[in-house]
Structure 1
């Protein structure tokens, strides 16, 4: 006769990626297969109003249009997909100890934490698209180097957009100075590549657009988080006061994302965690595996999707495997 002994489930952290993580048909294999995910995606497209049908078409198209990586498509779809995947994981019974998002992923995390309603988030996203689409042509550059090693190119229109790991950065700027920086870095054998972005997010280039979106943020009700929410801008737990500050939220698009130090602080507080990437791709899972505590064998990293769309069945298999593993971690241990 066997019995089962209870065991404490490891703490779970939900991670949500941002600009650059989008790819054609991201998570589309779950649409009309996972009921919770489908319901929230349909709700998002409904809230997008007249833009909803073409955004859905862009998302489900087998081949992306030339506009797919523009703010007008990438940002709304990332917000909607991140949010719907988060709802799906929460519906599995997962009770995360914390949420952490990267760039627009923080807005999705805030929605799941109750800081703002999805309808308000969709409205703000629509405002953002209109303003940011008119910013000067620019982009973002992923660089395998430390901040110190790129200090000399962080001038003349090139800015530090994100610190994703000690030697993994994002730079942003208008197209010409960014291309100039890329050539200079390549000449000294620093690995760099363009990110899928047509705007210079997280840089002063978008300051005017940020100012234009502030009235929208001031018009919505912002609340204290119901779930613990870490911010990659404050590099710690988001306080109730900051969560209710519209200026804080509006300015995010022009501020540096400090993802690596924020995740380090989160793991220092919560110990060995299961880092669940509830978003398209595996970019944050890769960063999570580079965390010193994870490298030492503390905790684990669990993406809910493949690194890119490999067919609907691959999406479904990855999600089913993630669900099984998460449920197994909290199940009783059979004993003889």
Structure 2
């Protein structure tokens, strides 16, 4: 998830949480990224070297049937047949990688105390927490993707400004699609109106950066395409979460009524993402070690701005490198993160 300035935070990437060691282990909360975090071969350097991660990825691919076979082939390819930013690749692969990394962390003996997903990351959180069976979650993701194929061409734009500053400049169905930080807002809308808004904002001195997306996620532009998604969701069994899930759509822990409401899940591609308010709610409930379990370090960079992290009460730890590198970089990053997590949890290394 790029910032409006284009800084990925790589210069500040460390193998351990920042700040002094806490007096007692902090509970772990997983941050699960969504659209914009994807890149070619994201986390593929772990496959097949991390057996738990690899088995979880294969489980997702199997649940997705023939689509899963094509997804796996494009995921490990240097030159995918379908571009990674296409909705049929970005969304299901982000879901799969987030889910598999969550399973990997759990295999280290770390039980997360909370989950917070951004966009499609909330579906991964729901699967990890047991709200949906993996097979059902995979089917919901594929159904969402197929519907979004019918959406008009659109996009997303990260702007270094508060939502209130941008309101007077929005038109042509361009809306606030996500609030990632106090001055990091993502706009979404149809392609041509979004381009016009971007040009006007740049002319007025706003710093803007496109978010890798070919769809206007989290805007009314996709409402017609996603209509009817409730039918599948109404047929799927849901359960109370085994782990609290802080919703990026309500900025609060998921309630039973929301979990049971097919419309709540069906509206997610249209509804704005309130990541910063959700993060604020999570960190307002206590100190956490925030672990970004997904590609890149976009959520890590955002979370480092939070007052609770800057004050040292909470800390942030990414699992993967900030950007695409050689396959060994994925393995080295995960090994360093694992050591840091086990050290904070006072757990011994297990071979």
2:263 match: secondary structure:
helix
Matches within 5 A, 1:142-221: 142-221=158-237
State the partner residue of 2:319.
304
In structure 2, C-alpha distance between the alignment counterparts of 1:128 and 1:101, rounded to whole Å:
17
Deviation digits for residues 216-268 of structure 1 (CA, Å, limit 9, x no counterpart): 11111111111111001111111122112111011011001000011011101
1:108 match: secondary structure:
helix
Say yes or no: does 1:318 pair with 2:330: no
Is the 2:303–2:316 Cα contact (8 Å) retained in structure 1?
yes
How many angstroms does 1:64 deviate by? 4.2
In structure 1, C-alpha distance between the alignment counterparts of 2:215 and 2:305, rounded to whole Å:
28
Alignment coverage as a number of residue pairs = 326
In structure 2, C-alpha distance between the alignment counterparts of 1:142 and 1:296, rounded to whole Å:
26
Is the 2:171–2:193 Cα contact (8 Å) retained in structure 1?
no
State the partner residue of 1:74.
90
Query: Unpaired segments of 5 or more residues in structure 2?
Result: 1-22
- Superposition TM-score, scaled by structure 1 size: 0.94
In structure 2, C-alpha distance between the alignment counterparts of 1:98 and 1:263, rounded to whole Å:
11
Is the 1:230–1:262 Cα contact (8 Å) retained in structure 2?
yes
- Superposition TM-score, scaled by structure 2 size: 0.90
Q: Which has the larger radius of gyration?
A: 1
Is the 2:180–2:275 Cα contact (8 Å) retained in structure 1?
yes
Q: Which has the higher helix share?
A: 1
Query: Unpaired segments of 5 or more residues in structure 1?
Result: 1-6
The one of 287, 290, 295 equivalent to 1:275 is 290
2:229 match: secondary structure:
helix
In structure 2, C-alpha distance between the alignment counterparts of 1:299 and 1:64, rounded to whole Å:
38
State the partner residue of 1:129.
145
How many angstroms does 1:309 deviate by? 2.1
In structure 1, C-alpha distance between the alignment counterparts of 2:169 and 2:241, rounded to whole Å:
38
The one of 8, 20, 26 equivalent to 1:10 is 26
Deviation digits for residues 187-232 of structure 1 (CA, Å, limit 9, x no counterpart): 0111111111101110011111222322111111111111111001
2:145 match: secondary structure:
helix
How many angstroms does 1:63 deviate by? 3.0
How many angstroms does 1:51 deviate by? 1.6
Say yes or no: does 1:19 pair with 2:35: yes
Is the 1:13–1:273 Cα contact (8 Å) retained in structure 2?
yes
